[in-house]
Amino acid sequence: MNWIEIAGHTGAFLSSVTFIPQVYKAWQTKSVGDLSLAMILIVITSTVIWLVYGVSLVLWPVIIANTIIFFLASLLLVFKLVFK
């Protein structure tokens, strides 16, 4: 694995875990008023589209990263709708 591939895998990993601290914070505080609902909906929509793309071309990093992001963003959406 050369350094460009390492950069790609590192980027995919970081993108996958992006929303973990936000989900954790929202769960801890039960406060989501400052979170943009539009942002969450865009993230969910984009992951679905990236999954279509990734599955079509059998790009596993794209599939795995977007599956994780989809799950985390969906959790954020539930928190956004449940916590007031």
Q: Which of 1, 43, 61, 82 binds its own copies (CB under 8 A)?
A: 43
Residue from 73, 3, 83, 82 nearest 38 by CA: 73
Q: How far is the CB of 63 from its own copies (least distance, A)?
A: 12
Helix residue ranges per DSSP H, the chain: 3-17, 20-29, 37-56, 60-82
Chain residues binding its own copies by CB under 8 A are 4, 7-8, 10-11, 14-15, 17-19, 21-22, 24-26, 29, 31-39, 42-43, 45-46, 49-50, 52-53, 56-57
